[in-house]
Structure 1
Amino acid sequence: MDELDRVMHYLAKLPGLGPRSARRAVLHLLRKRETLMHPLADALGAAAEAVRDCSVCGNLDASDPCHICKDESRDGSVICVVEDVGDVWALERAGAFKGRYHVLGGLLSALDGVGPDDLNLDGLISRSGAPEVKEVILAMDATVDGQTTAHYISDRLAGLDISITRLARGVPVGGELDFLDDGTLTQALKARRAL
C-alpha cells in the first residue's frame, strides 16, 4: 500500500467519511501541503502525545486535571453525567451548563457486553458523595441503553443526600409537531409545565 492509499485508508475510518470522501480530503490536503497538510500532521502528532484522560472527570485535555475541572468559577455542587467526551463538547458549545462533568466512557449494553465494570462509575460514585455535591444530572441519550444506564446510576446514588435529575425530553426548539415521532410527543406531553 503506497502513501496515498494509507492516508485514504485511515481517513475513511473516521466517522462520516467513506472512501470517496477520504479521497477528496486527501486531494485537498495535497493541494494545500504547506498551509494545511504539514500543519495538520504536526497538530495530530502533538495531540497524540499530549492529550490524555482527565483523572477526575474523564474529559480529554492536555492537562490533568482538565481545564474544566481546574476552573474555579464552575459550580462544584452540580455534576452532569454524560456518555462520552463528545457530549461534554456539545454542552460546552451550547454554553448553558456551568457545573462539572463526569464522562462514563460508554453506556450499559447487554447486547454489546458492556457492564458496570467497563464504565467510569466508581469515580462518579466517589465524586457524588463529596459534601459540596448537591445534584447529579443524568444526561444520557433517550435510548434503551441510555435509560438502562440512567436507572442503574440512579439506583447506585440512591443512598446519597443529593438530587438526581434527567435532561428534559420533548419538542425541540423549532420543531414541528407533525414531524415528531410518537415517543417524543408522548414525552413532551408528560413533561409539560405551567407558563
Structure 2
Amino acid sequence: MNYPSKLVEDAVNEISRLPGIGKKSALRLALHLLGQEVEDVTELTKSLIALRQKTVYCKKCHTISDTDVCSICKSPKRNESLICVVEEVPDLLAIENTAQYNGLYHVLGGVISPIEGISPSDLNIDSLLDRTQNGEVKEVILALNATMEGDTTAFYLTKKLRKQGIRVSGIARGVPIGSELEYTDEITLGRSIAKRIMFD
C-alpha cells in the first residue's frame, strides 16, 4: 500500500497492530484523526496514555481498576458471601452488564493448560483460596468457558474449594434463547438435556 506521507504510514502501522484492525481500517482511522481538531486528538492521546500508565489491577479480585481495590470489591451493596470466578476481565464485564448478579468476582487470568505450559501457579488461584478461608464466603460460582481447559480448571478449583467447605456451583450451559434445536451442536444439546430444569 502506498502512503502520501511517512507520518501517515507510521500511524497506520501502529493502529493496525490493534486486534481486528487491518491496514485499510487503520488508514481510515488515521485519516479521520488527521481531519479532527488538534485538541480532540490530544485528548484521545492523553486518555490512551493514562489508560496504560494509571490502570492497576485490584488486589482482591484482579480486575482492572483505578485504585488498589476496585469499586465492586469496595461496594457495601455486594453480597460478600458469593464469589463468581471468571477467566478474564471481559468475562466479568459481560456478567456485570446483565445486572443479574450482586456478589463479588475473582479473575483467574486464564485457565490451566498443560499444552501451553500454564499451571495452577501461573493463575490467581492462591489468592482465591485465601479469600475463601475467612468463613464469610459460602459459595463460589465457576463461570469458566466450556472448553477442555475450562473444565480442567473447574475440576481443580472444585477439589480445592470443597476441602474448605465451600459450596461450588457452575453457570448453566445449554441452548441459547432464540436458537433452533436442529442447528445446536450435539455437545451443547446433550448438556442441556442432562442439566434440564423442572417446571413447577
TM-score by length of 2: 0.91
In terms of mean alpha carbon deviation, does 116-125 or 149-158 score higher? 149-158
What CA distance in whole angstroms lies between the structure 1 residues aligned with 2:156 and 2:109? 15
CA shift, 1:178, in A, is: 2.0
Does residue 25 of the first structure (1) align with residue 29 of the second (2)? yes
CA shift, 1:153, in A, is: 0.9
Does residue 13 of the first structure (1) align with residue 17 of the second (2)? yes
CA shift, 1:30, in A, is: 2.0
Give RMSD over aligned pairs.
Answer: 1.6
Does residue 162 of the first structure (1) align with residue 166 of the second (2)? yes
CA shift, 1:5, in A, is: 3.0
Which stretches in structure 2 are left out of the alignment for 5+ residues? none
Query: Pick from 111, 116, 120: which aligns with 1:116?
Result: 120
In terms of mean alpha carbon deviation, does 30-39 or 18-27 score higher? 30-39
Structure having the higher Rg? 2
Q: 1:120 to 1:179 in 2, by over 3 A?
A: same
Does residue 140 of the first structure (1) align with residue 144 of the second (2)? yes
1:121-163 alpha-carbon deviations (Å, 9 max, x no partner): 1000111122110100011000111111111111111211221
Does residue 92 of the first structure (1) align with residue 96 of the second (2)? yes
Letter in 1 for 2:82: V
Which stretches in structure 1 are left out of the alignment for 5+ residues? none
In terms of mean alpha carbon deviation, does 33-42 or 8-17 score higher? 33-42
CA shift, 1:15, in A, is: 2.1
Does residue 49 of the first structure (1) align with residue 53 of the second (2)? yes
What CA distance in whole angstroms lies between the structure 2 residues aligned with 1:22 and 1:32? 16
Letter in 2 for 1:166: G
Letter in 1 for 2:134: A
TM-score by length of 1: 0.93
Query: Pick from 67, 73, 76: which aligns with 2:77?
Result: 73
Q: 1:106 to 1:34 in 2, by over 3 A?
A: same
Q: 1:180 to 1:33 in 2, by over 3 A?
A: farther
What CA distance in whole angstroms lies between the structure 2 residues aligned with 1:5 and 1:130? 56
Alignment-derived partner of residue 37 in structure 1: 41
Q: 1:188 to 1:3 in 2, by over 3 A?
A: same
Letter in 1 for 2:120: P
Structure 1 residue ranges (4+ consecutive) displaced by more than 6 angstroms after TM superposition: none
Alignment-derived partner of residue 63 in structure 1: 67
What CA distance in whole angstroms lies between the structure 2 residues aligned with 1:130 and 1:33? 54
Identity among equivalent pairs (%): 39
What CA distance in whole angstroms lies between the structure 1 residues aligned with 2:193 and 2:21? 38
**Residue aligned with 1:94, SS:** coil
